[in-house]
Chains A and B, each alone.
Chain A
């Protein structure tokens, strides 16, 4: 509709005839037709490209997929520093204590898809690039540090007076502090 109007304007408008000479007017008419054809092509291209390529699964992969060069074995090497100021009272603090260092993390809860303790640990592993194996009752491994006969992972929570967490499938309490030890 708009294109038809524009072409009509260029063809019939006396005002246009006064400010543009014949050659220029003819050029703009041709340009307008090519432009409108291009617009139609662009719309069809965008819609078909979206229809052929978009899916929620693909979107999730693009958003949460990890860079292949980011892999690490050490769960205590990296931290999420600072405070997410815009998430007032809607975060959880996680400290991963290894033998010689600690990873300190403040994680905004709206960014967690699985808002359980195990979900939090898995997400932390995804963010930093290490493997996490955890079930509902225990942490099997974080990175290359696995539960063995001599060493084991356990976590405590400020929401239960820093007692050991026994159920990793429980929901996270906002502002709670979770400390995980490898001892």
Chain B
């Protein structure tokens, strides 16, 4: 890649990050509504209580605790907005590891929060906005390191403009805490594969271990990292096993710090709660994967569907089909997605949207692969065309009602007919100039469709105001 291309890519990245920040700051403390995810407050309470009392206190629902205290903690006046039951306060709180609490509770503490009612969404969602911006960088870096900076740009662009990605990334859940660590772990692992320098393996192991200290489902990083190390075809079995052992030893030992923490505070309750966690009601059921593919849940009841997630899953199948040709891409994108799905099935309990948040950046990278191959490498036009119809169509119908769309229905049908036939057009001439022109036209079409999809995503997101959020599932 030329120097000019690199600078151009960085310029586009700066633009994407700037636009991403504007989009993410819009109504970040109001949408989703305060109280639609009480875990946000609970996470901050755990951190705040650890800092001020040396004891984790939080909201739980698990039956393992010996007693439960009920309190009306009217942060953000949630009881006037629909939340009606008092919080079930347990201490010491061991539902999840404490690191997410320390991040947002610590941030709240630096903003003079001293009691639980001080941990408003205006404060505790700010670190999430910052982490979301960091994710844009990390997605770009991972895409750039895997293939090319343009792949990174495409993936970062999708993550920046997807309404589902924007709104989900601001929710103060542990999943949003460990997503950057998973991406960093993959990045360091990729660097290790390219340079064989032990420091990158260690950094990857540390990131993977630390993600478990946000939530146990952060074990995604350890499993995915282990599988990637064992899948490296350029290493001997001895090297693979050695790398895997070092990685597993370091990451698991860091993850085990949660046990050290729990045993230090209260061993008896820690053991009971850990076992109780394993017996949660398995609401996601055997249809979990089906719901995962077809639903884009933000909370327990609210959906924001923009087509990118489904496009990501279709891209996953595309990557699986091309795994021999796109080995690195398969190992660093497709494998982690499958591991996230596996962890979701095993660890999942209730139908909460935030359990699937770790998929989002990986699915953005997955969609970017066929789009990159079309726009830059002149390949797989049909795949990219069909994938882009998903976010274009879904975002369009969120912007314009089906009744208003009728006046465009004729043009839509005719246009799609022409474009589809054009995309399907095989090589009919031996004239190289003509063939090149057709390929150029197809690639331009895909690029225009991609930019249209991003624009429609941004417009769709802009229509999601606090007033519109009430009827979000009916749109």
Binding site for B on A (CB under 8 A): 19-21, 24, 27-28, 31-32, 35, 39, 42-43, 46-47, 49-54, 58-59, 61-68, 70, 78-87, 106-108, 110-111, 123, 126-129
Contacts and interface: CB of A to CB of B under 8 A. Distances in A.
B285 interface: no
Contact of B265 (A50, A59, A85): A50
Interface stretch (B78-86, B305-313, B370-378, B447-455): B78-86
A24 B242 contact: yes
Contacts of B120: 67
A35 B79 contact: no
Contacts of B260: 39, 42-43
Interface residues of B, number: 46
B259 to A, nearest CB: 10
Nearest to B86: A111
Nearest to B80: A78
Given A46-B265, A67-B117, A127-B79, A59 B91 contact: yes
A119 to B, nearest CB: 13
A105 to B, nearest CB: 8
A59 B53 contact: yes
Contacts of A67: 75, 115, 117-118, 120
B114 interface: yes
B242 A82 contact: no
B444 to A, nearest CB: 52
28 contacts: A20-B245, A27-B246, A31-B249, A31-B250, A35-B253, A42-B260, A43-B263, A46-B264, A53-B52, A58-B53, A59-B57, A63-B115, A64-B115, A66-B115, A67-B75, A67-B117, A68-B118, A70-B74, A80-B72, A80-B79, A80-B80, A81-B80, A81-B82, A107-B72, A108-B86, A111-B72, A127-B79, A128-B74
Contacts of B72: 80, 107, 111, 123, 126-127
A28 B250 CA distance: 9
Contacts of A43: 260, 263-264
Give chain B's interface secondary structure class.
Answer: helix
Contact of A46 (B54, B241, B246, B253): B54
Contact of B54 (A50, A79, A111, A127): A50
Contacts of B280: none
B86 A58 contact: no
A64 B74 CA distance: 9
Nearest to A124: B72
Given A28-B246, A31-B250, A52 B54 contact: yes
A81 B85 CA distance: 9
B16 interface: no
Interface in B64-84: 69-75, 77, 79-84
A78 B246 CA distance: 57
Nearest to A32: B253
Contacts of B73: 63
B49 interface: yes
Interface string B4-40: 0000000000000000000000000000000000000
Contacts of B117: 65-67, 70
A157 B183 CA distance: 60
B290 interface: no
Contacts of B69: 63
B79 to A, nearest CB: 4
Contact of B242 (A19, A46, A78, A87): A19
Contacts of B198: 27
Contacts of A50: 53-55, 265
Contacts of B422: none
Given A43-B260, A62-B115, A84 B75 contact: no
B302 interface: no
Interface in B324-374: none
Contact of B52 (A58, A70, A83, A86): A58
